Amino acid sequence: MSLKVAIQGTRASFHEEAAFKYFGEEIETIECDSFKKTCELLKQKKTDYVVMAIENSIAGSLLPNYNLLRDYKFHIVGEVHLNIQQHLMALPGVKLEDIRHIESHPIAIRQCEEYLTELQNVKISEGMDTAACAKKIADNGLKDTAAIAGQLAAKIYGLNILDRRIETNKKNTTRFLILQNDIIEHKNANKASLSFQTGNNVGALANILQCFAEQNINLSKIQSMPVIGKRNEYDFYVDVEWKKQAEFDTAIRKVLKHTINFNIMGEYVKNEKI
Q: Are residues 46 and 176 in the same domain?
A: yes
Residue 44 lies in a domain: yes
- Structure confidence at residue 274 (pLDDT): 61
Per residue in 21-75, pLDDT (tens digit) is: 999 999 999 999 999 999 999 999 999 999 999 998 888 899 999 999 999 999 9
In the chain, the largest separation of any two C-alpha atoms, in whole Å, equals 66
Q: Are residues 48 and 176 in the same domain?
A: yes
**Distance, CA of 44 to CA of 14 (rounded, Å):** 24
Residue 158 lies in a domain: yes
Report which residue type is found at 54.
I
Range of the domain at 146: 87-163
Q: Are residues 70 and 107 in the same domain?
A: no
Give burial (CB, 10 Å; 0-12/13-18/19+) of 238: buried
Task: Confirm if 9 and 17 have CB atoms less than 8 A apart.
Answer: no
pLDDT greater than 80 at residue 1: no
Q: Are residues 68 and 176 in the same domain?
A: yes
What mean pLDDT value characterizes the chain?
94
- Structure confidence at residue 58 (pLDDT): 83
Q: Are residues 195 and 258 in the same domain?
A: yes
Give, as one character, the DSSP assignment of residue 271. Answer: P
Q: Are residues 69 and 93 in the same domain?
A: no
Q: Are residues 96 and 123 in the same domain?
A: yes
**Distance, CA of 122 to CA of 106 (rounded, Å):** 16
**Distance, CA of 159 to CA of 152 (rounded, Å):** 10
Q: Are residues 156 and 130 in the same domain?
A: yes
Q: What is the CATH number of the domain that holds 211?
A: 3.30.70.260
**Distance, CA of 96 to CA of 119 (rounded, Å):** 10
Q: Are residues 93 and 156 in the same domain?
A: yes
Q: How many CA atoms lie within 13 A of 88 on its CB side?
A: 24
Last residue of a domain, one of 148, 180, 212: 180
Q: Are residues 95 and 72 in the same domain?
A: no
pTM over 0.95: no
Task: Confirm if 65 and 53 have CB atoms less than 8 A apart.
Answer: yes
